[in-house]
């Protein structure tokens, strides 16, 4: 049977009469005229084929058929009300499954150390964190939000810029003690660099770009080590396996601790913005707002 919105509306009028005890009070509660309430009940009785209410000048009571019907529909109406309440609560209550799409660098290097605090802050959240190279179809695959480096795609997604960082060339003190420190980006051709694949094309990145003022420099690196995973890249660099190019925001603490050295502070690499992306500008769920706020306050602050 096709959905009949008028039938549901008329059932709602019947429920208002039963709960309030009169046509007049039901009309006030629903914002209708008493005649409008009466017509709604008449339409419902005509549709069903039985009388549902006994009406006198002093009272309104359900007939036997009306009581049976109301006993069946009462729990359904309560369920509908609860569903609306829970859904409306999603705009203010941080709870439920939060499905997040992130790239490997952000996930392993920046987010992972803070996840425990996020879960402690929001005990009613179930975090479903998916790490992948490509953004994919955010809405079609059921993601609530994505956090990604790089310019966002031209799409209907809402994008919120969180920060902008640059790539930098770094090495561990152990590597520099063994191989010496390159004086300029051009010296990288004689050093062991850790090579990564372009996440879009899958091809090895063979040139590193540097900028100083208006001057740009593209250096073809020398490498015997190719990988794709950001966590392994950072770990190998810390262990002295070679020089790596990484996003400054993710390794600044390691530089401050002396565990990595920024080789060319006067020659930063290309800029990389960090964006939060989500499917709709209209009333994003509280869990989405809470996650983005947490990223800004705790992860990149």
DSSP assignment of 136-154: --TTTTT-SEEEEESPPPS
C-alpha span between 73 and 85 (Å, rounded): 18
C-alpha span between 220 and 136 (Å, rounded): 31
pLDDT for position 92: 64
pLDDT in tens, 186-216: 999 999 999 998 766 778 889 999 988 888 8
What does the domain layout of the chain look like in residue ranges?
5-89, 96-158+273-299, 164-272
Rounded to two decimals, what is the model's pTM? 0.64
pLDDT for position 251: 92
C-alpha span between 115 and 128 (Å, rounded): 11
Equal fold, 96-158+273-299 vs 164-272:
yes
pLDDT for position 189: 92
C-alpha span between 238 and 107 (Å, rounded): 18
Taken in order 123, 121, 252, 254, is the CA torsion positive or negative? Answer: negative
Find residue 57's DSSP bridge partners: none
Of 117, 91, 112, nearest in space to 102 by CA: 112
For residues 275 and 79, the answer to whether their CB atoms sit within 8 Å is no
pLDDT for position 87: 59
Between helix 34-48 and helix 23-30 the angle, nearest 10°, is: 100
For residues 115 and 71, the answer to whether their CB atoms sit within 8 Å is no
CATH architecture type of domain 164-272: 3-Layer(aba) Sandwich (3.40)
Q: Both tokens of residue 250?
A: 């993710």
Tens place of pLDDT per residue across the chain (301 aa): 455 667 777 878 888 887 777 888 888 877 888 888 888 888 888 888 888 888 776 778 888 888 888 777 766 766 666 556 555 555 567 888 899 999 888 898 899 999 999 999 999 999 999 998 788 888 778 888 999 988 887 777 888 899 999 999 999 999 999 999 999 999 999 999 999 987 667 788 899 999 888 888 999 988 889 988 888 899 999 999 999 999 999 899 999 999 999 999 999 888 889 999 988 655 567 888 899 999 999 888 7
pLDDT in tens, 251-268: 999 999 999 999 999 998
pLDDT for position 213: 83
DSSP 218: E
Q: What CATH number was assigned to the domain covering residues 96-158+273-299?
A: 3.40.190.10
Q: Both tokens of residue 158?
A: 């809402």
Given CATH 3.30.70.990, say whether it is the number of domain 5-89.
Answer: no
- Kindly report each contact of residues 211-216 with a partner whose C-beta sits within 8 Å and lies 24 or more positions away, as own/partner: 211/267, 211/268, 211/269, 211/270, 212/266, 212/267, 212/268
DSSP assignment of 252-296: HHHHHTTSSEES-TTS---EEEEEEEES-SSS--HHHHHHHHHII
CB atoms within 10 A of CB 216: 11
pLDDT for position 1: 44
């Amino acid at each position: 049977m096709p959905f009949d919105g008028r039938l549901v509306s008329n059932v709602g009028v019947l429920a208002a009469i039963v709960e309030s005890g009169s046509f007049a009070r039901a009309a006030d509660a629903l914002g209708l005229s008493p005649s409008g309430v009466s017509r709604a009940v008449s339409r419902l009785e005509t549709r069903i084929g039985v009388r549902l209410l006994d009406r006198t000048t002093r009272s309104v009571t359900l007939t036997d058929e009306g009581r049976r019907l109301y006993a069946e529909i009462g729990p359904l109406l309560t369920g509908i009300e609860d569903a609306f309440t829970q859904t409306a609560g999603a705009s203010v209550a941080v709870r439920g499954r939060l499905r997040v799409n992130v790239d490997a660098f952000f996930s392993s290097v920046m987010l992972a150390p803070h996840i425990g605090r996020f879960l402690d802050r929001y005990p009613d959240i179930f975090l479903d964190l998916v790490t992948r190279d490509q953004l994919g179809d955010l809405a079609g695959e059921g993601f609530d939000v994505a956090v990604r480096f790089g310019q966002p795609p031209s799409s209907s997604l809402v994008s919120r810029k969180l920060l902008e960082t640059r790539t930098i060339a770094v090495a561990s003190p152990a590597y520099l003690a063994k191989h010496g420190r390159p004086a300029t980006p051009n010296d990288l051709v004689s050093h062991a660099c850790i090579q990564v694949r372009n996440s879009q094309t899958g091809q090895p990145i063979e040139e590193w770009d540097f900028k100083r003022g208006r001057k740009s420099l593209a250096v073809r690196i020398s490498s015997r080590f190719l990988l794709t995973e950001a966590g392994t890249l950072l770990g190998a660099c810390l262990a002295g396996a070679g020089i790596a190019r990484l996003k400054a925001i993710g390794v600044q603490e390691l530089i401050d601790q002396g565990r990595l050295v920024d080789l060319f502070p006067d020659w930063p690499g290309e800029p990389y913005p960090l964006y939060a992306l989500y499917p709709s500008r209209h009333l994003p769920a509280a869990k989405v707002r809470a996650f983005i706020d947490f990223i800004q306050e705790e992860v990149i602050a």
